[in-house]
Amino acid sequence: MEVEEEERRSPHNRGEACVPEGFFDRVTQGLRNDLEHERNRRLQMADTVLKHRAEFFFAQPENERALTSLRDELRVARGIVDRSRADITALQTLVDSHHREHKALCEMLERKGVLHRKKQRTDGTA
């Protein structure tokens, strides 16, 4: 029995020879502080997530309306572009037709001797 008491008191058996007094209390307190800090951080993050979810939830209908409006504007703009292209094609056809008529009339007037065209010079002067 004496041997058991001696072993219990012996610092070599418990590993306390190199550990200063109060070390485990300080480490335990530090871990408690870290745990409390992490718990508070987690709660703050959860609050932030809830806040952002609510903002997202309330912003969704407005975003959907804006998206629908933009899609409608795009559809209208595409219609305008398509009509403009058709108008441009029709105008180009009309210009080509008028050019052919003008050319035919000028040739007819030249043949009748009413219109004399200037002959182009080959030396590049006007």
Task: Give how many domains the chain has, as a whole number.
Answer: 1
Residue 10 inside a domain? The answer is no
Residue 123 inside a domain? The answer is no
Q: Is 126 helix (H, G, I), strand (E, B) or coil?
A: coil
Residue 2 inside a domain? The answer is no
CA 18 to chain centre: 60
Residue 87 inside a domain? The answer is yes
Q: pLDDT per residue over 40-52, tens digit each?
A: 999 999 999 999 9
Q: pLDDT per residue over 59-114, tens digit each?
A: 999 999 999 999 999 999 999 999 999 999 999 999 999 999 999 999 999 988 88
Residue 11 inside a domain? The answer is no
Contact 74, 83 (CB under 8 A): no
Residue at 1: amino acid letter: M
> Structural domain of residue 31, as residue ranges?
23-110
Residue 86 inside a domain? The answer is yes
Q: Measuring CA to CA, how many Å separate 38 from each of 15, 31, 32, 60?
A: 31, 10, 10, 32
Is pLDDT at 124 greater than 80 in this prediction?
no
Residue 4 inside a domain? The answer is no
Residue 5 inside a domain? The answer is no
